[in-house]
């Protein structure tokens, strides 16, 4: 089971979340023809990264666990979305309704998707043994 569940390490799981937020920022900027310079990507990603860190902290404090599964991942996704949008609005960045909908769906697919795939892999591997 260890080989299949390597992603359950909090450090690795957090790194996956961070990587996916950066991918979200890169793809979003590219789809609007914006420069993908490091500063531009970071300025787009930082509000959502702050939200991800907030979600991880909330899960750790409230549930006394790490958000490596789908259920606590919902808290991470929600915090990522809400904190990210509030921070973007505070600095005058776009928070149009269409962006909120697209960001909600993409972030859910990213932040919950890898957790769901991991849970599926563990179940499938466990069924074989």
pLDDT above 90 as % of the chain: 70
Distance set, CA 23 to CA 14, 17, 60, 85, 94 (Å): 14, 10, 25, 17, 18
Q: What is the mean pLDDT of the chain?
A: 90
Task: Decide if 50 contacts 84 (C-beta within 8 A).
Answer: yes
pTM over 0.85: yes
Residue pLDDT, tens place only, 48-67: 999 999 999 999 999 999 99
Phi, psi (degrees; rounded to nearest 5) at 101: -65, -50
pLDDT of residue 31: 82
């Amino acid at each position: 089971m260890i080989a299949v569940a390597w992603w359950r390490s909090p450090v690795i799981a957090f790194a996956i979340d961070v990587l996916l937020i950066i991918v979200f920022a890169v793809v979003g900027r590219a789809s609007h023809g914006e420069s993908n310079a490091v500063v531009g990507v970071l300025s787009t990603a930082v509000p959502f990264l702050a939200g991800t860190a907030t979600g991880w902290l909330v899960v750790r404090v409230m549930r006394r666990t790490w958000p490596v599964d789908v259920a606590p991942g919902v808290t991470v996704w929600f915090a990522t979305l809400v904190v990210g949008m509030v921070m973007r609005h505070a600095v005058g960045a776009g928070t149009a309704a269409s962006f909120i909908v697209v960001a909600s769906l993409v972030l859910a697919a990213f932040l919950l998707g890898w957790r769901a795939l991991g849970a599926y892999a563990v179940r499938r591997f466990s069924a074989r043994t």
